[in-house]
Structure 1
Amino acid sequence: MVDRAEAAARQWQRERPELPMLAVEIFGRVLDAAARVTRDHMDPLLAEAGLKVGEFDVLTPLRRSGKPYSLTPTQLYEAALISSGGMTSRLDKLERAGLIERRPDPEDGRGRQVALTGTGLEIIDDMIGKMVAMEERMISILTVAEQNNLNRLLKKLLTGL
Structure 2
Amino acid sequence: MEDRRLLDHVARIQAEWRRERPDVDVTPQGVIGRLHRLGGLLTEELTRVYGRYGLSEGEFDVLCALRRAGEPYERAPGELAVHTMVTTGAMTKRIDRLERAGLVTRRRSDDDQRGRIVALTGPGRELIDRAFTDHMRNERHLLDLLTPAEAETLEALLTAWLARVEQPRPSGGEDYRDQGAH
The TM-score bracket by the shorter chain reads: over 0.9
Q: Distance in 2 between matches of 1:61 and 1:81?
A: 11
Alignment-mate amino acid for residue 26 of structure 1: V
Question: 1:69-96: CA deviations, max 9, x gaps?
Answer: 1111111000001122211111111111
Q: Assess if the C-alpha contact under 8 Å between 1:13 and 1:19 holds in 2.
A: yes
Instruction: Note if 1:115 corresponds to 2:89.
Output: no
Per-residue deviation, residues 12-61 of structure 1 (Å, max 9, x unmatched) = 2222222222321211111111111122x222211111111111111111
- Which residue identity does 2:120 align to in structure 1? L
Aligned CA-pair RMSD: 1.6
Name structure 1 gaps, 5 residues minimum. none
Distance 2:40 2:144 in 1: 19
**1:1-161 matches, cutoff 5 A:** 3-39=8-44, 41-161=45-165
Percent identity, aligned pairs only, is 38
Between the aligned partners of 2:11 and 2:88, the Cα distance in structure 1 is 37
TM-score for the superposition, normalised by structure 2: 0.82
Q: d(CA) in 2 for partners of 1:95 and 1:7? A: 47
- Work out the CA distance in 2 between the residues paired with 1:17 and 1:77: 45
Distance 1:142 1:148 in 2: 9
Gaps of 5+ in 2: 166-182
| Bigger radius of gyration | 2
- Per the alignment, in what secondary structure is the counterpart of residue 108 of structure 1? coil
Aligned-pair CA distance for 1:121: 0.5
| Structure (1/2) with the larger helix percentage | 1
Contact 1:58 1:76 in 2 (8 A): yes
Shift of 1:158: 0.9
